[in-house]
Chain A
Amino acid sequence: MSLNGDLAAVQMVVGSALASLEANRNRIDDLNVYPVPDGDTGTNLTMTVRSLAEAVDNTSAGSRESLARDVSRGALMGARGNSGVILSQIVRGAADVLGEASSATIDARAAAQALRGASDAAYRAVRRPVEGTMLSVIRELAEEAEARAPGRPPIGDLLVDLVRRGEAAVARTPDQLQVLRDAGVVDAGGAGLLELVRGIAAAVSGEALPEPPPADERPAIEAIHQELSRYRYCTVYVIEGRDLEREVMEEQLEKIGDSLLVVGDRNAIKVHVHTDDPGAALSIGSAVGTIDRVEIANMHEQTQQREERLLAAVPDPPTERATTGVVAVVAGEGNRRLFESLARDVGPVSIVEGGQTMNPSTSDLLAAVQALDSDEAVILPNNSNVLLAAEHAAANADRPVEVIAVGSIPGGLAAMVAFDGQRTAAENAAEMRDAVAAVDTGEVTIASRDVEMNGVSIRKGDWLGLYDGDPVAGGDSFDDVAGAVIERLLEQPRDLLTLLVGQDEPPLGALLDRISAAHPDVDVDVQQGGQPHYHLLLSAE
Chain B
Amino acid sequence: MNLTTANTAIVLDSTADFPDAAQRFANWRVVPLYVNFGTDSFRDGVDLTADRFYERLRASSQMPTTSQPTPGDFVACYAELAGYERILSLHLAANLSGTFQSAGTAAAELGDGRVRTIDTETASVGITLLALAIQRLLERGTTDVEVDELVERYKREHGLLFTVDTLEFLARGGRIGRAKAFAGELLHVKPILSIRQGEVIPVKRVRGARKAFQEFVDALESETKDDTALRIGIAHAAAPEKARELEKMVRDLRPRAQIDVQTMLGAVIGAHAGPGTVGFFWFTDS
The interface of chain A, by Cβ under 8 A from chain B, is: 33, 36-40, 43-44, 47, 51, 76-82, 84-85, 224-225, 227-230, 258, 303-308, 310-311, 314, 316-317, 337-338, 341-342, 344-346, 413-414, 417-418, 438, 495-496, 498, 523, 525, 527, 541
User: A80-B67, A82-B98, A317-B178 are known contacts. Are A303 and B166 too (CB-CB below 8 A)?
Assistant: yes
A38 to B101 alpha-carbon distance, docked (Å): 18
Q: Please encode chain B, from 84 to 121, with 1 for each CB lying within 8 Å of some chain A CB and 0 for all others.
A: 00000000000000100110010001000000000000
User: A44-B67, A307-B167 are known contacts. Are A317 and B181 too (CB-CB below 8 A)?
Assistant: yes
A337 to B186 alpha-carbon distance, docked (Å): 9
Binding stretch for chain A, among B12-20, B21-29, B200-208, B242-250: B200-208
Does B132 reach chain A (CB closer than 8 Å)? no
B222 to chain A, nearest CB (A): 14
Q: Which of chain B's residues have a CB closer than 8 A to the CB of A417?
A: 184, 187, 189, 205-207
- Within the complex, which residue of A80, A84, A303 is in contact with B168, where a contact is CB–CB below 8 Å? A303
User: A38-B174, A78-B70, A314-B174 are known contacts. Are A344 and B75 too (CB-CB below 8 A)?
Assistant: no
A164 to B173 alpha-carbon distance, docked (Å): 33
Does B50 reach chain A (CB closer than 8 Å)? no
Contact sample, A vs B, 5 pairs, CB 8 Å cutoff: A44-B67, A81-B68, A306-B168, A341-B187, A496-B207
Beyond contacts A79-B71, A85-B102, A338-B187: 17 other A-B pairs, Cβ-Cβ < 8 A, are: A38-B173, A38-B174, A77-B70, A77-B71, A84-B70, A85-B98, A225-B63, A310-B172, A311-B167, A314-B171, A317-B178, A341-B184, A341-B186, A342-B189, A344-B183, A345-B180, A438-B211
Does B210 reach chain A (CB closer than 8 Å)? yes
Q: Which 6 A-B pairs have the closest CB atoms?
A: A77-B72, A495-B208, A36-B174, A37-B174, A345-B181, A496-B208
Q: Which of chain A's residues have a CB closer than 8 A to the CB of B57?
A: 228
Q: Is the CB of B181 within 8 A of A525?
A: no
Chain B: residues with Cβ within 8 Å of the partner, total of: 50
A258 to B171 alpha-carbon distance, docked (Å): 26
Q: Which of chain A's residues have a CB closer than 8 A to the CB of B168?
A: 303, 306-307, 310
- Within the complex, which residue of B105, B183, B188, B210 is in contact with A311, where a contact is CB–CB below 8 Å? B183
Q: Which of chain A's residues have a CB closer than 8 A to the CB of B70?
A: 51, 77-80, 84
Q: Which of chain A's residues have a CB closer than 8 A to the CB of B204?
A: 418
Q: Please encode chain B, from 52 to 89, with 1 for each CB lying within 8 Å of some chain A CB and 0 for all others.
A: 00000110011101111011100100000000000000
B161 to chain A, nearest CB (A): 16
Residue of A nearest to B75 (CB): A77
Q: Is the CB of A342 within 8 A of B67?
A: no
A314 to B168 alpha-carbon distance, docked (Å): 11
A228 to B55 alpha-carbon distance, docked (Å): 12
Residue of A nearest to B181 (CB): A345
User: A39-B65, A78-B72, A495-B210 are known contacts. Are A342 and B187 too (CB-CB below 8 A)?
Assistant: yes
Does B255 reach chain A (CB closer than 8 Å)? no
A58 to chain B, nearest CB (A): 14
User: A39-B65, A85-B101 are known contacts. Are A495 and B72 too (CB-CB below 8 A)?
Assistant: no
User: A338-B186, A342-B187 are known contacts. Are A495 and B71 too (CB-CB below 8 A)?
Assistant: no
User: A85-B101, A225-B63 are known contacts. Are A308 and B207 too (CB-CB below 8 A)?
Assistant: no
Residue of B nearest to A493 (CB): B210
- Within the complex, which residue of B62, B174, B184, B211 is in contact with A342, where a contact is CB–CB below 8 Å? B184
Q: Which of chain B's residues have a CB closer than 8 A to the CB of A527?
A: 186-187
Residue of B nearest to A78 (CB): B70
Does B177 reach chain A (CB closer than 8 Å)? yes
Q: Is the CB of B178 within 8 A of A81?
A: no
Q: Which of chain B's residues have a CB closer than 8 A to the CB of A523?
A: 188, 208
Q: Is the CB of A227 within 8 A of B61?
A: yes
B282 to chain A, nearest CB (A): 23
A287 to B34 alpha-carbon distance, docked (Å): 48
Within 8 A of A (CB), among B222-247: none
Q: Which of chain A's residues have a CB closer than 8 A to the CB of B6?
A: none
B152 to chain A, nearest CB (A): 21
Q: Is the CB of A85 within 8 A of B184?
A: no
Q: Is the CB of B208 within 8 A of A541?
A: yes
Q: Is the CB of A307 within 8 A of B183?
A: yes
Q: Please encode chain B, from 209 to 225, with 1 for each CB lying within 8 Å of some chain A CB and 0 for all others.
A: 11100000000000000
A324 to B63 alpha-carbon distance, docked (Å): 39
B155 to chain A, nearest CB (A): 19
Does B252 reach chain A (CB closer than 8 Å)? no
B121 to chain A, nearest CB (A): 16
- Within the complex, which residue of B34, B109, B171 is in contact with A310, where a contact is CB–CB below 8 Å? B171
Residue of A nearest to B204 (CB): A418
- Within the complex, which residue of A225, A230, A306, A438 is in contact with B62, where a contact is CB–CB below 8 Å? A225
Scoring A39, A44, A81, A225 by chain B CB atoms within 10 A of each residue's CB, the highest score goes to A81
A76 to B73 alpha-carbon distance, docked (Å): 11
Does B142 reach chain A (CB closer than 8 Å)? no
Q: Is the CB of B63 within 8 A of A80?
A: no
Q: Which of chain B's residues have a CB closer than 8 A to the CB of A304?
A: 185-186
Q: Is the CB of B72 within 8 A of A317?
A: no
Scoring B67, B101, B174, B206 by chain A CB atoms within 10 A of each residue's CB, the highest score goes to B174
Q: Is the CB of A314 within 8 A of B187?
A: no
Does B36 reach chain A (CB closer than 8 Å)? yes
Q: Which of chain A's residues have a CB closer than 8 A to the CB of B68?
A: 80-81
Q: Is the CB of B186 within 8 A of A79?
A: no
Q: Is the CB of B207 within 8 A of A541?
A: yes
B9 to chain A, nearest CB (A): 21
Residue of B nearest to A126 (CB): B101
Residue of A nearest to B212 (CB): A495
Q: Which of chain B's residues have a CB closer than 8 A to the CB of A230?
A: 58, 275
Q: Which of chain B's residues have a CB closer than 8 A to the CB of A37?
A: 174
Residue of B nearest to A315 (CB): B180
Q: Which of chain A's residues have a CB closer than 8 A to the CB of B62?
A: 225
Q: Is the CB of A81 within 8 A of B67?
A: yes
Does B175 reach chain A (CB closer than 8 Å)? yes
Does B176 reach chain A (CB closer than 8 Å)? yes
A424 to chain B, nearest CB (A): 16
Q: Is the CB of B65 within 8 A of A38?
A: yes
Residue of A nearest to B205 (CB): A417
A81 to B63 alpha-carbon distance, docked (Å): 18
User: A76-B109, A81-B67 are known contacts. Are A307 and B174 too (CB-CB below 8 A)?
Assistant: no
Q: Which of chain A's residues have a CB closer than 8 A to the CB of B172?
A: 38, 224, 310
- Within the complex, which residue of B109, B171, B177 is in contact with A307, where a contact is CB–CB below 8 Å? B171
A165 to chain B, nearest CB (A): 29
Q: Is the CB of B180 within 8 A of A311?
A: yes
Q: Is the CB of B166 within 8 A of A307?
A: yes
Residue of B nearest to A127 (CB): B101
Q: Is the CB of A308 within 8 A of B187?
A: no
Q: Which of chain B's residues have a CB closer than 8 A to the CB of A77?
A: 70-72, 75
